[in-house]
Amino acid sequence: MSSAAGIARAWALLAGATAACGWMAPAGADIFGPRPTPTPSPATIAGRMGVEVTRSAALHGIAFVPFTPPRAVVVVALLPPFHGEDTRANRGIAFEYRAFDGRRYALAEWPAHGGGIDRFAPHEPAEPECSSARSFPRGAQPNGIVWSTARGLVMTLQADGANDARTLESEWIKLIRRGACR
């Protein structure tokens, strides 16, 4: 037998042995099983923060009475805890709503339960009715505003779409005036 025939035979034996062990698979086969279909990311701010559910399911999934935005709520989501274990007592809620200017905002709320917002940069300009406000960035402008309330909640406000600090600030002040910092 020629050396080329011997090498070809050795490769054939190796291929047969590894295929029998599952190390090699026929062309086009996936030895790890079917691949899961990618889940598209939710198109809503609230959906990206948590799990979109009905309003009643979200309210049943939390253990506090949330501040509800004065606008028509479009989407409600149940959120993972801000701090602590994943229990009903620690979970949050997000209300996504459309403001009069047509922009969509998400107002999220959680019980603080020992968590703090000091790691975020102070929000400027300061608002006398809500001195605990902080900003979280996206690029050079704030992407959202986070604050704590006297009731022991941590709240955030985020806008969908283009990052416009003035519009975000204006909507936040409207919520504060309606009691979102109490």
Handedness of CA 44, 48, 51, 55 (dihedral sign): negative
- Say whether pLDDT at 22 is over 80: no
How much of the chain exceeds pLDDT 70, in percent?
A: 73
Number of folded domains in the chain?
2
pLDDT tens by residue, 161-181: 776 788 888 999 999 999 999
Q: Is 175 within 8 Å of 158 (Cβ atoms)?
A: no
**Both 63 and 124 in a single domain?**
yes
The DSSP element (H or E) to which 104 belongs, if any, is strand 104-111
pLDDT tens by residue, 117-145: 998 888 887 788 888 899 887 555 558 99
* Category of 71 on φ-ψ map: left (φ > 0), alpha (ψ -120 to 50) or beta: beta
**Both 15 and 102 in a single domain?**
no
**Both 137 and 54 in a single domain?**
yes
**Both 125 and 153 in a single domain?**
yes
